[in-house]
Amino acid sequence: MIKILIKALLLVFIILSIYFIVNPSACSNLIAGRVVNPTEDELAYPADNTKKSEVLVPQGDSALHEDTAQEAGIYDTNTMQENRNPQNQISQEETDYAIANRYVELEREYIEKGKDPKESAKDIAYTVMDDFEMTPKEWDAFLQRATEANLFEKIREENK
Residues 12 and 79 in one domain: yes
Looking at the domain assignment, is residue 50 inside a domain?
Answer: no
Domain of 150 in residue numbering reads as: 92-158
Q: How confident is the model at residue 69 (pLDDT cuts 50, 70, 90)?
A: very low
What is the distance between the alpha carbons of residues 36 and 59, in angstroms, rounded to a whole number? 8
Whether the CB-CB separation of 152 and 104 falls below 8 Å is answered with yes
Is it the case that residue 68 has pLDDT exceeding 90? no
Looking at the domain assignment, is residue 150 inside a domain?
Answer: yes
Average pLDDT over residues 142-149: 91
Looking at the domain assignment, is residue 52 inside a domain?
Answer: no
Q: Which of 3-12, 41-50, 61-70, 100-109 has the highest mean pLDDT?
A: 3-12
Residues 153 and 109 in one domain: yes
- Give the distance between the most distant pair of CA atoms in the chain: 80
Average pLDDT over residues 9-35: 79
What is the distance between the alpha carbons of residues 96 and 93, in angstroms, rounded to a whole number? 5
Average pLDDT over residues 40-67: 53
Looking at the domain assignment, is residue 49 inside a domain?
Answer: no
What is the distance between the alpha carbons of residues 10 and 13, in angstroms, rounded to a whole number? 5
Is it the case that residue 13 has pLDDT exceeding 50? yes
Residues 23 and 64 in one domain: yes
